[in-house]
A and B are shown apart, each in its own frame.
Chain A
Amino acid sequence: MEDYFRQYGLVAIFSVIALALPLTMLILSWLARYVRIRPYKPNPTKYSTYECGMEAVGGRWLRFHVGYYTFALLFVVFDVLAVFIYPWAIGLGGLGLVALGQMLVFIAILLVGWLYAWRKGALEWK
């Protein structure tokens, strides 16, 4: 049991190092400005929004297509399926046919929802 936590301890240390690595790179590249390895010549044109050489017109943040929301909703619904399937999949070897039948019912219910979404055109990108 103690060993179990030691493994997670290693992952925790690793995550600190993984975070430190890109931060160090960024800080080093920021410091490089002061030792003149990297140029720093501010200029208002340079800091304007890139728009293929034209001046940016209109607001900075645009409206976007409603289709993205439909897909996000669908994703949430079916991601729950995956959440339930994982523990079931691991235990299936010991649970046998009854567990399989129960999951088939669950999948069938969600499939009805999926077909409904398809019929309603929610899976089309318009």
Chain B
Amino acid sequence: MGELLAGNSIYRNVYIWVEGLLPTGWQWVAYFVAGFTIMFLLLNAFLVLTMVYTYMERRVLGRFQGRLGPNRVGPFGILQPVADAIKLLTKEDIVPAVADRWVFNLAPVVFFVPTVLVLGVVPFGQNSFLADLNVGILYVLALSSVSTLAVFMAGWASANRFALFGSMRAVATLISYELPVLLSMGGVLMLVGSMSLVRIVEGQRIPFLLLQPLAFLVFLAGISAELNRAPFDMVEAESELVSGFNTEYSGMKYGLFALAEFGNVLVAGAIMSVVFLKGWEGPVLPSHLWFLLKVFFFAFIFVWVRATLPRLRIDQMMGFAWKFLFPLSLVNLVVTGAEVAVWPEATTAQLWVMAVINWVVAIVGVVVFSRLVRQRPTQPEVRVFSSAAPSGAR
């Protein structure tokens, strides 16, 4: 069984139980069964919780907007996600005649797979994970950038203007916000000295939300942009692009996009609770429940932000990434780097000093940079379109 995997309680218990039933030389069966058990748990939890989250988002959003939200299917409307799933399954599947059929059909799969794969390294409770890779954070960030490709595949293959504009915007946004997200993780890695998500949870004597406020801010903003969530949902700005990159999708293919998009919010919540809020650790309640509470806390923040902030324009959005988040993440990197270089083995008291310094830097940095990049309202530009020139939509 080995040392690393013996720290995994679900794996260990299943492995020992199955091994006892088998003759010697058949340990590989125990390996597969133990692995499949955790994968089964993960996938089912992912699908069920995503459904719960879609219901929660619509209800909470309804409350925010002074309406009821879905309340017809089942008691309090809790069967709404099931009804949606049935509706999507029984809808006619339309592929436009001019679409690039293979890429069109493959895009939802490419969009969905990385979402699920990220779950493989998330420690969802004490001693519970599928694999504790020593490159955990790198694995997570690498997979999360695959969705860019899928969005562009969808937009391009649809051969539809709205879809193409949506996906071009998506690629521009995603690559711009990728950078601050990557850099904001740097400070956390310095403090822990490892990329393994389990080590990151165990290395947090103080939650990194307190120790790395600037990194958290940058990460939250960057990840909302990567998830195509408001206020950064230029990709599918329904007032101008119908539905963005998935305009032409219907039926189960659209269902996969929607499922992955909502699931991504939970996955992002899981990553943020692991990195910034001590993951599964917490008093009294069992560790798995703590983890779920933290994930849904972040999910609620995403809904709250969506209900509160208006959508940004694309120039504001690019400016926000390159002129505000990028320098702030560098500031955080340099300040944390100096602190770690001075106190390589910080005591808890020194960590609190670091936290105070980081909060001061965060507040000063945000105020200074927001003044620096403030956009003053300008005179609207009067444009005359000639019939020969292609229209001005971007």
Interface residues of A (CB under 8 A from B): 2-4, 6-11, 13-15, 17-19, 21-23, 25-26, 28-30, 32-33, 37-41, 44, 46-52, 56, 60-65, 67-68, 71-72, 74-75, 78-79, 81-82, 85-86, 89-97, 99-100, 103-104, 107, 111, 114, 118, 123-126
Contact = CB atoms under 8 A, between A and B. Distances in A.
A14 B39 contact: yes
Contact of A124 (B248, B315, B390): B315
Contact of B189 (A37, A50, A89): A89
Interface of B: 1-5, 31-32, 35-36, 38-39, 42-43, 89-98, 105, 108-109, 112-113, 116-117, 120-121, 130-133, 138, 156, 159-162, 164-165, 168, 171-172, 175-176, 178-179, 182-183, 186-187, 189-190, 193-195, 242, 247-248, 251-253, 255-256, 314-315, 318-319, 322-323, 326-327, 330, 333-334, 337-338, 340-342, 344-345, 390, 394
Contacts of B89: 28-29, 32, 37-38
20 contacts: A6-B2, A10-B120, A14-B35, A14-B39, A17-B39, A21-B112, A23-B109, A38-B93, A44-B97, A49-B160, A50-B247, A60-B159, A65-B168, A72-B171, A92-B340, A94-B344, A104-B334, A124-B319, A125-B314, A125-B315
Q: Nearest 10 CB-CB pairs, A to B?
A: A3-B2, A29-B252, A125-B315, A82-B182, A18-B116, A60-B159, A47-B97, A7-B131, A89-B189, A75-B175
Contacts, number: 227
Contacts of A50: 96, 160, 162, 242, 247-248
Contacts of A64: 164-165, 168, 394
A32 B171 CA distance: 34
B28 to A, nearest CB: 10
Contact of B120 (A14, A114, A126): A14
Nearest to A33: B93
Dominant secondary structure at the B interface: helix
B259 to A, nearest CB: 9
A62 B175 contact: no
Which of B1, B94, B341 has the most CB atoms of chain A within a 10 A radius of its CB? B341
Given A17-B43, A86-B182, A90-B189, 11 more contacts: A3-B1, A14-B116, A29-B93, A38-B90, A56-B160, A63-B390, A71-B175, A75-B176, A79-B178, A90-B194, A103-B337
B92 A38 contact: yes
A9 to B, nearest CB: 8
Contacts of A74: 322
B18 to A, nearest CB: 15
